[in-house]
């Protein structure tokens, strides 16, 4: 499978950048991540996400939202809040979240 980047979003929009350190594939993580993808896709204003993980356990997920209201809907969603609490208790050694407003966006794709 060839990775596909999120592209073609007309600014302005918002990003939530989640950077984490955790062991590779802790128990229950993949199932919860799959459920969270399904959940966030149901939030109006959600635009997509990209992620990468190193073999050493550092991960970066960038989620894209049309506006702060849609990003806040994700932040306070009960299933997401439960997953975050479980992650702090069982999976993550550390994490950080950065919220940003994108003013300009461009890309390149080889034909």
Mean pLDDT score of the chain, rounded to an integer? 93
* Reported confidence tier of residue 109, pLDDT bands at 50, 70, 90: confident
**Residue 55's pLDDT is what?**
87
Closest CA to 29 of 95, 92, 100, 74: 92
User: How many Å apart are CA 11 and CA 50, to the nearest integer?
Assistant: 17
**Residue 26's pLDDT is what?**
82
- H/E segment holding residue 64: strand 58-65
Which residues make Cβ contacts (< 8 Å) with residue 2, sequence separation at least 6?
none
User: How many Å apart are CA 111 and CA 8, to the nearest integer?
Assistant: 16
Q: Decide: pTM greater than 0.85.
A: yes
User: How many Å apart are CA 13 and CA 67, to the nearest integer?
Assistant: 6
Q: What is the pLDDT of residues 37-84, one digit of tens each?
A: 999 999 999 999 999 999 888 999 999 999 999 999 999 999 999 999
User: How many Å apart are CA 74 and CA 89, to the nearest integer?
Assistant: 20
- Retrieve residue 5's tokens: 């980047």
């Amino acid at each position: 499978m060839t990775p596909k980047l999120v592209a073609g979003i007309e600014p302005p929009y918002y990003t939530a950048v989640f950077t984490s350190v955790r062991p590779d594939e802790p128990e229950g993580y993949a199932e919860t991540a799959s459920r969270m993808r399904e959940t966030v896709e149901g939030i109006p204003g959600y635009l997509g996400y990209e992620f990468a993980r190193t073999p050493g356990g550092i991960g970066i997920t960038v989620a894209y939202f049309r506006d702060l209201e849609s990003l806040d809907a994700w932040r306070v969603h009960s299933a997401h809040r439960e997953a975050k609490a479980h992650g702090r208790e069982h999976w993550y050694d550390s994490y950080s979240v950065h919220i940003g407003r994108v003013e300009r966006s461009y890309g390149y794709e080889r034909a």
